[in-house]
Amino acid sequence: MIELDGVWRTFRVGESDVQALKGISLAFQAGEHAALIGPSGSGKSTLLHILGCLDRPTRGLYRFEGRDVGSLTEAERCRLRQNRIGFVFQFFHLLGRLTALGNVELPMLFAGVPRNERRSRAMKILEAVGLAPRAGHRPDQLSGGERQRVAIARAMVMAPSLLLADEPTGNLDRKAAAGVMELLEDMNRKGLTLVVVTHDPAIAQRAARVIRMDDGQIGGEPA
Amino acid sequence: MKASDLALFAGTALSGHRVRTALSLSGVAVGIAAVIALTALGQGAREYVVREFTAMGSHVLIVFPGKVETTGGGPIGGAPRDLTLEDFRAVVSRTPGIVAAAPLASGEETLRYGARNRAALILGTTAEFRQVRRVKMGAGSFLPRRDARQAGSEIVLGAKLARELFGPESPLGKVVRMGTWRFRVVGVMAPRGRAMGIDVDDVALAPIQTVMAAFNRTSLFRVFIEVRDKRLLPEVKERVTEMFRERHRAEDVTVITQDAMLSAFSDILNALTLALAGIASISLAVAGVGIMNVMLISVTERRSEIGLLKALGGTDRQVLLVFLAESGLLALMGGLAGLAVGLAAVALFTGLYPSFPASAPLWAVAASILLSLSVGIGFGLWPAWRATKLDPVRALTGR
């Protein structure tokens, strides 16, 4: 489903070039659950952004569902993000002025889904993450775990094939973290491809596949 | 993304910063209120003048001595020849199509009655003046009909002048003095207010021959000619001009139609209205810069939101529209508030001065809405464009 072949990503910092990714070659199967671990600055977030079509490789090939992402236009990559890829962030990135329901509706707003359908789909997915009773609450009225559930609902509302989670439990206590991971794994079991970036070995352990990154390269990948 | 969705989304963003929104909105409101109020006054002034002119009869020719040069350069050969009472009689009696014609001479002098005295503008004319200038009488009668060359001792007073000279006493039949001249008051005009720059309530009318003698005038100040039909105006104007040319052997009088004066005034006041609107819209430009500032702050503050919108599949175009909708909505709300304030100010003004027909022209109302919207979109363009240029990765990670 996903193929990376010799992917480099170079950032220009001041006068010098910094290589965040150095020739990554990697493949993910549909429905896989993988964890990306490694020290900070090892390039795991950069890799995640490239996987999410938010960033493009400086060099090398990235194929998503058979399409060469590097050759797609900005609009086509937007469509991929809109329909095929969901994001979950460490800091939730919920809009504080919108209710939980409003936040979940947001991707559908850009996709041009009619208002009534937006509402019913958002409600359905909030139910699925167990937050239907909190639909009318604003993020500051929700606990950390609840916020991340809203964010997951938002990521899933367009029914993507790939969910990218960047430290999804980094801001949660142990109990809330376990709940969030269970939710993600449940969706994975239903066929969603899940890639989780994490610092936490306990979270990484839960994945079927752990990819260790170091200095822009893939280190030991236990089979 | 539908327009209603955009507007709703922009609305939630604006309601998140109520004070900031209210302040930048009021900038636009002040600008639009100024445009509305000033154009209403300008338009009111125009309508006032038009009304005054029409009240005096619209098919009137006005003759005055001296040639108005339209080709540049002053009149050659010094002062123009006098426009005499003889000229007036000759021209009027031999021009067909005239309903009434009145000569006018003027001077300023003190009128006395008993111990009271008062300086006033004395206009010398004939009985026809009443018809030509649509004079309404408050009491008594107008100047009697007689040959213009005959002197007379009748005087007609303006309402205010009569009140100030006579107080509660009836002026009719009383004798007022002007230097060594004595006049008998035969009538008082109905109050009318200012017309053509003269306070009609503050003048006195007396027989032309006597006024010219009293002030030692040889030339008339004006001749008013009312034509039977509006369509005859050009013909009569031509004929009158021709006769003066023959009598004076030079073209040294100016004949204008009241319509021409009216349209000249109207043009001037229209230009004035536009100029006022232009000046008022400068404040809109200032308000626009305010909006731009607020939107720039908003874009900077909401970097992570912009990154998120892009991560969720929002295109650059949609992000641009989100911010444009916000600045547009901001300005539009300001415009509507300004419209309300402006119209209220105009209503207050007309309440205080009912005789002045100030009202905001429809084009100004329509323009103010369009103007505020375009201020919002125009000045919001650059901040919105900056939002689209944000790299989503950097915006999301706060780098």
Contacts of B369 (CB under 8 A, 6+ apart): B332, B335, B336, B339
For residue B143, name the pLDDT band (cuts at 50, 70, 90). Answer: very high
Task: Answer yes or no: is pLDDT of A222 > 60.
Answer: no
pLDDT at B194: 65
Q: Do B313 and A154 touch (CB under 8 A)?
A: no
Residues B364-371: what's their mean pLDDT? Answer: 87
- Residue B209 class from Cβ within 10 Å (0-12 exposed, 13-18 middle, 19+ buried)? buried
Which residues of chain A are within 8 Å of residue B318 when distances are taken between CB atoms? 110
- Residue B218 class from Cβ within 10 Å (0-12 exposed, 13-18 middle, 19+ buried)? exposed
Q: Do B314 and A78 touch (CB under 8 A)?
A: yes
Which residues of chain A are within 8 Å of residue B305 when distances are taken between CB atoms? 93, 95
Q: Do A81 and B311 touch (CB under 8 A)?
A: yes
Which residues of A lie closer than 8 Å to B, measured between beta carbons? 45, 49, 52, 54-55, 74-75, 78-83, 87, 89, 91, 93, 95-98, 102, 106-107, 109-112, 115, 154, 158
Q: Do A111 and B15 touch (CB under 8 A)?
A: no
Q: Do B1 and A55 touch (CB under 8 A)?
A: no
pLDDT at B73: 47
Which residues of chain A are within 8 Å of residue B16 when distances are taken between CB atoms? 96-97
Share of chain A above pLDDT 90, in %: 62
Please give the mean pLDDT across all residues of chain A.
Answer: 90
Q: Which residue has the tokens 């300023």?
A: B108
Please give the mean pLDDT across all residues of chain B.
Answer: 87
Q: Do A45 and B397 touch (CB under 8 A)?
A: yes
**Of the candidates B14, B35, B13, the residue with the CA atom closest to the CA atom of residue B25:** B14
Q: Do A110 and B316 touch (CB under 8 A)?
A: no
ipTM: 0.90
Q: pLDDT by residue (tens digit) across A24-46?
A: 999 999 999 999 998 888 888 89
DSSP H or E run through B254: strand B253-257
Task: Answer yes or no: is pLDDT of A217 > 80.
Answer: yes
For residue B6, name the pLDDT band (cuts at 50, 70, 90). Answer: confident
Distance between alpha carbon A185 and the CA centroid of its chain, in Å?
13
For residue A223, name the pLDDT band (cuts at 50, 70, 90). Answer: very low
Which one-letter amino acid corresponds to residue A213?
M
pLDDT at B69: 53
Nearest-CB residue to B312 (from A45, A106, A112): A106
pLDDT at B277: 83
Residues B303-326: what's their mean pLDDT? Answer: 91
Nearest-CB residue to B315 (from A78, A97, A109): A78
Please answer whether residues B105 and B96 qualify as being in contact, where contact means their C-beta atoms are separated by less than 8 angstroms: no
Q: Do B315 and A74 touch (CB under 8 A)?
A: yes
DSSP character for B82?
P
How many pairs of residues across A and B have Cβ atoms under 8 Å apart?
A: 64
Q: Do A98 and B12 touch (CB under 8 A)?
A: yes
Which residues of chain B are within 8 Å of residue A158 when distances are taken between CB atoms? 313
pLDDT at B340: 94
pLDDT at B216: 92
Q: Name which of A77, A83, A97, A152 to mutate to probe chain B: the one with the most chain B Cβ atoms within 10 A of its Cβ.
A: A97
Which one-letter amino acid corresponds to residue B304?
S
Q: Decide the pairing of beta strands B116-125 and B154-157.
A: unpaired
Q: pLDDT by residue (tens digit) across B19-36?
A: 888 988 898 899 899 989
Please answer whether residues B313 and A82 qualify as being in contact, where contact means their C-beta atoms are separated by less than 8 angstroms: yes
Nearest-CB residue to A89 (from B9, B313, B396): B396
